[in-house]
Amino acid sequence: MGEPAPPASFGRLERMVLAAVAALLALALFWLRGGLHPEAALERLARQSPELSVALADGRPTLVEFYADWCEACRAMAPAMESMERRHQGELDVVLLNVDNPRWQPQIDSYAVNGIPHLELFDRGGQRLGQVIGARTGDELESLSSALVAGSPLPLLAGSAPTSALEGESSAPQAIPIAPRSHG
């Protein structure tokens, strides 16, 4: 007679071990990718942000934030930005442009971004109205967004400036020499 047949439970035991190893690997991968931590407000805003060219052409006023993932002021301001964006959904476009993404270098140069957070403000026709440099409170963001939506003059805030073309210059965005190099 030959070798005795392995018990039927051997195949079942092997499948259970493989399933347990697979489950442990899946759990480890889940934990390494952040687990159940909710996505941060800054990442949510950036992911939902419309394209700048679309926002400037759709007939709604636009608020553009130049930011960076590593910027603590940008991260601290993000929940207020998200709240403001929700309050004015459908009335105002909120566009986020990451200064670390080379795709946005022409806009960074054009708007003379040299400190973040840096906000650029546009009317319904896509015309640049002004800029605001540095972190803003929820009340300041609400004041800015409400003025944009209503077509009212922008509030005067520290670190803000209206834009105007100098005689003989084109209507291209103007550099305002008040921009600080710090995070305001």
Same domain membership, residue 156 and residue 129? yes
Same domain membership, residue 51 and residue 32? no
In a domain, 152, yes or no: yes
Active site annotation includes 74: yes
Q: Which of 52, 63, 74, 141 is catalytic?
A: 74
Active site annotation includes 119: no
Calculate the CA dihedral of residues 74, 85, 55, 46 and round it to 10 degrees: 40
Query: Would you tell me how many other CB atoms lie within 10 Å of the CB of residue 37?
Result: 7
Instruction: Provide the residue range defining the domain that includes 25.
Output: 8-36
Peptide bond into 102 cis (omega under 30): no
Instruction: Reply yes or no on whether the pLDDT at 138 is more than 90.
Output: yes
pLDDT number for residue 1: 55
CA 150-75-174 angle, 5° bins: 50
pTM (global) more than 0.75: no
What percentage of residues in the chain have a pLDDT greater than 70? 74
Q: Which of 46, 55, 56, 71 is catalytic?
A: 71
In a domain, 151, yes or no: yes
